[in-house]
Structure 1
Amino acid sequence: MQHPTRRRTLGGILAIAATAALALTGCAPGQSSPGSTAAAGSSSGALKPVKIQLQWYKQAQFAGYIEAVKQGYFKDEGLDVTLVDGGADIVPQTQLSTNKVDYAVAWVPKALASIEQGAQITDVAQIFQKSGTLQISMKSKDVGSVAAFKGKNVGSWGYGNEFELYAGMTKAGLDPAKDVKVVQQAFDMKGFLAGDIDTAQAMTYNEYAQVLESENPKTGKLFQPSDLNVVNWSDDGVGMYQDALWANSGKLASDTAYQAQTTKVVKAVLKGWMYARDNAEKTATDVVASGSQLGASHQLWQTNEVNKLVWPSPDGIGMIDKTLWDRTVSIAKTTKNGSGATVITKDPPATAYTNEYVEKALAELKSDGDDVTGSSFEPISVTLKKGGA
């Protein structure tokens, strides 16, 4: 799939986005080339082969999964796990529902749209507890609030990454179809840095850092946070649940071996995220070694920022908060894009999520003495280098 850098309106593009299987992750825009296609654990015949589909190419957004392989947590559960790279033409939830993989990582609103279209998938561990999506602008553009988007060129990746943006504009009293010019944002920050986009989408852990890794031509130094205005959709009240681990609903309903395996997979994944929390520097190094095409300082930044989206987890990492789930569903049902379509038209079925497997995994981890809440978590300080090197 091509991701054009030229500016154009998104009426047609976002209409496709709302009804397609929502291929891109919001997580990953900005990575220019793929890493290796998979990272496998031991090939021992005693281990059960399992495939987990990532949303994008390997980066610290998936640090917990990478460390679960690296540290042998999957092996400890009797599993030989392969992490399957995502990409622009891969829809994780479709890969899962068509049995090409055993589990998948996907944003909740995108998965909800796929469920409404017939995908039989279940959220079995909600890893990210809040949204990492921002809308950023240069201070010189004077776009310091959502209301100030009026009349501006508003960048959007589309393909399912735009729902918080549209919810935020609607909340601010703007008609996205009339009051702003929504333009196709490429999966990098070149258009933003060139000044073609007044306010651009960015993930806290990726594109925001890409700007801060870039040289400000006016100063000859890297851009600083003080050079930017930032709208954080979580702070704005329209943040939606993002990265979660999904399982096959049909197998959960009828296959006792798959049920037991799911508890094991969830346990290992949660343990991987605990390792990433407590070993950020080592994790960033491991992510780079796993095949990431983004540099060491960028991956350390990303590890740190992703940890902020996961920790603390007061109810235990992976637990799905019904209030936050219901808010995501409500936004998905009511927010319209430029063509008037919503993410979903009705409430998802009861099988869309369950805490059953994460509760079992947490019980085992607690009995082992593991810190499953991260109540004392403190982020580290990261210095970005030019180009994320």
Structure 2
Amino acid sequence: MKKTLIILSLSIFTLTLFSQQKKETSLRFLPHWIPQAQFAGFIIAYEKGIYKKYGLNVELLTGGPNRSSLDWLAEKKTEICASWLSSALQVRDKNVKLINIAQLIQKSALMLVAKKGRGINTINDLNGKKVAMWQKDFKIQPDALFKKNGIDVIPYPLSETQDIFIRDVVDVTSVMLYNEYHLLINCGYDKGDLTIFNFQDYDLNFPEDGIYVLEDFYNKNKQACQDFVTASLEGWEYAFNHEEETLKLVKKYLTKAKYAANEMHQLWMLRQMKILFQPSGGQKIGELRENDYDNVVKILKESSNIKQSISFKDFYRSLYDSP
């Protein structure tokens, strides 16, 4: 009898293990940029086995300037990707049926930085000034800001460095709060000598990093998609609370991808991500606010970057909906 119970217990264990293995879902995830602290939560969720805990076999793909995460999603080279809301809406406008399943960055990290020494203290002082801007999606908010305030600027294309700002070729430059702004401070600029223009202060807030899937994939794998978001948020919480361990892993991924890894810069980036993730007004972490969404759609239509008005309900699926 005892032998029979042992055999039965082993059989149940084997069936349970087989069932768990059978239910494991394989996913590829592609960030929209290089593996820096901007994506630390995903790295942690992978390295700490959090995805595995939720029954997910995740392959972390390496993003970068020559690999569009949304193009890869459309071409089904990845099941899940990260990207900006404004970028995703433009792809959706081209009839690629993607949806947002989590909104991570709630505030625009993109900013304009001006030199007070050039007489720039208010928005109207930008009129007639030389402004360095990145192209495509990075140019939408600055252009909307200038149009809204009746400002004419002299535009300059901005490369991967801030050399034209540092060398005084331009009066104003575009930066990301968690990246280039910190680099400018490290170059010797005093915060008191700079005027910051935050787009959310001018009703031009664009939530940035979000998680996207194709609608068809979501409909067939709703639980796996929600588990991916839950596991990723768990990874982010761990990353924010274990900075030293997180930075070591980020450095490992940057080195593997052949990028320089400055620990202090990555620490700044990680801490700024924590701030940018914070929800407001009763909103839950990872949620996309409908008024933010509607505002981005409105600005994209006014600037002729999209033609269709996609409803919030059609575009967004909340983690907090029942699977």
TM-score clears 0.5: yes
Give the match for residue 223 of structure 1. 189
Counterparts in 2 of 1:294 and 1:360: CA distance versus 1, 3 Å: farther
Aligned partner (choices 298, 310, 314) of residue 348 of structure 1: 310
- Whether 1:67 and 2:44 are equivalent positions in the alignment is yes
Distance in 2 of aligned mates of 1:322 and 1:331: 14
Give the match for residue 27 of structure 1. none
How far does residue 358 in structure 1 lie from its aligned partner after superposition? 4.3
- Whether 1:299 and 2:266 are equivalent positions in the alignment is yes
**8 Å Cα contact 2:101-2:316 kept in structure 1:** yes
Unaligned runs of 5+ in 1: 1-44, 215-221, 337-341, 362-389
**8 Å Cα contact 1:283-1:303 kept in structure 2:** no
How far does residue 203 in structure 1 lie from its aligned partner after superposition? 0.6
Question: SS at the partner of 1:167?
Answer: helix
Distance in 2 of aligned mates of 1:303 and 1:159: 26
Question: SS at the partner of 1:275?
Answer: helix
Question: SS at the partner of 1:162?
Answer: helix
How far does residue 197 in structure 1 lie from its aligned partner after superposition? 1.9
TM-score (norm: length of structure 2): 0.86
- Whether 1:241 and 2:207 are equivalent positions in the alignment is yes
2:231 maps to a residue whose letter is A
How far does residue 345 in structure 1 lie from its aligned partner after superposition? 2.0
Distance in 1 of aligned mates of 2:243 and 2:191: 22
Give the match for residue 204 of structure 1. 177
Question: SS at the partner of 2:90?
Answer: helix
* Alignment of structure 1 residues 73-92 onto 2, 5 Å: 73-92=50-69
TM-score (norm: length of structure 1): 0.72
**8 Å Cα contact 1:93-1:119 kept in structure 2:** no
Structure exhibiting the larger radius of gyration computed from Cα positions: 2
Aligned partner (choices 149, 165, 182) of residue 192 of structure 1: 165
**8 Å Cα contact 1:124-1:358 kept in structure 2:** no
**8 Å Cα contact 1:61-1:303 kept in structure 2:** yes
Question: SS at the partner of 2:138?
Answer: coil
1:331 maps to a residue whose letter is I
Distance in 2 of aligned mates of 1:51 and 1:62: 15
Counterparts in 2 of 1:50 and 1:307: CA distance versus 1, 3 Å: same
Distance in 1 of aligned mates of 2:263 and 2:193: 24
Identity %: 25
Distance in 1 of aligned mates of 2:48 and 2:87: 30
1:277 maps to a residue whose letter is F
Unaligned runs of 5+ in 2: 1-20
1:156 maps to a residue whose letter is M
How many residue pairs get matched?
A: 296
Distance in 2 of aligned mates of 1:284 and 1:54: 18
How far does residue 360 in structure 1 lie from its aligned partner after superposition? 5.0
**8 Å Cα contact 1:56-1:86 kept in structure 2:** yes
Give the match for residue 326 of structure 1. 294
- Whether 1:126 and 2:103 are equivalent positions in the alignment is yes
Cα deviation code 1:20-47 (max 9, x no counterpart): xxxxxxxxxxxxxxxxxxxxxxxxx875
Give the match for residue 86 of structure 2. 109
